Structure 1
Amino acid sequence: MNFKMPKDLKLAYQIELQKYKEFLAQNNDSMAWHHLERAHILGQYHPVSHTGVHFRMFVFGIRKLDGKEIYGQFVRMSFGWIGSLFNRIPVGNTGSASVPIFAPMPIPDDLKSLLWNADTEAKGLSGLKG
């Protein structure tokens, strides 16, 4: 079970959230969303950070009056933490309601060193190796 986020991963997650806030304050929604997706890629392995990023995506959907995103994030926020708790998540998934909820996706090159033990070979739900 994944309860405690390693320090380097936690720092990178917090940096992505800070960048999200900065771009949101500048009304640059596309870059704000980009950093929320990156925060999701990093945070989805741990229940609290995973739920937290989906909550932010949910609020973003409300702000944009995007019904698909609001509904999609409500579902993800409600159940995603369970997958994190048991290390069964779609590695690399950006968390957006515009992508399939269980689809693994490539990890961006600059995040690979932080997620060196992610099971990128799996075809379905996986998580961190060993």
Structure 2
Amino acid sequence: MESTFSQKVAPYVEAELANAKRARSAGNTQQEFSHLERAHVLGQESTYWHVKVHVLMLAWATRNRSFRELLGQVFRIVGAATKTAFGLVPQGNTGGANVSPFKKMPIERELATLIQKAKAGV
């Protein structure tokens, strides 16, 4: 299931990462982080994508000199690497240091649809 979900959700996560990269190129750091958050919601049930997005958030924090975000991401990378495979992820959590790493959050309808498609193997 893990690899199947990871593979099926990949195009959706990669699209958000591409959007983040475009926002970064345009100098829009807030929009860049917003797309990273969307990528996090989409991929957080996959250890690979969950860790990768947190690493990208860490890179964002470093580039933007956000010490709070940097510390939060280090903590979250460890959690993502060790807890995701056991299903210990708070669904909908956007992954930034501005929210508790344990808080469940509502999932935008568009993202929920994409997650369901990936789980169904579509």
- Normalising by structure 1, report the TM-score: 0.84
Counterpart of 2:39 in structure 1 is 39
SS in 1 for 2:5: coil
Q: RMSD in angstroms over aligned alpha carbons?
A: 1.7
> 2: CA distance between counterparts of 1:102 and 1:39?
18
What is the correspondence of 1:1-130 to structure 2 with a 5 Å cutoff?
A: 2-5=2-5, 7-116=7-116
1:74 counterpart letter in structure 2: V
Q: Which has the higher helix share?
A: 2
Runs ≥4 residues deviating over 4 A? none
Q: 2:46 touches 2:84 (CA, 8 Å); kept in 1?
A: yes
Relative distance call for 1:6 and 1:58 in structure 2 (3 A) is closer
SS of the equivalent of 1:101 reads coil
Give 1:7 deviation, angstroms: 4.4
Aligned partner of 1:123 in structure 2 is: none
- What amino acid is the match of 2:88? R
Matched position secondary structure for 2:114? coil
Kept after mapping to 2: 8 A contact 1:2/1:87: no
How far apart, CA to CA, are the structure 1 residues paired with 2:32 and 2:112? 21
| Identity, % of aligned positions | 31
- In the TM superposition, what is the alpha-carbon distance from 1:78 to its structure 2 partner? 1.6
The 1:84–1:27 alpha-carbon spacing in structure 2 relative to 1, beyond 3 Å, is same
Q: CA deviation at 1:22?
A: 0.6
Would you say the 8 A contact 2:40–2:53 is kept in 1? yes
CA offset digits 1:81-104 (Å, max 9, x no partner): 222111121000000001001100
* Count of paired positions: 118
SS at match of 2:31: helix
Q: Relative contact order: is structure 1 or structure 2 higher (C-alpha 8 Å, sep ≥ 6)?
A: 2
Gaps of 5+ in 2: none
Q: 1:32 Cα deviation (Å)? A: 0.6
Q: Is the 8 A contact 1:8 1:114 kept in 2?
A: no
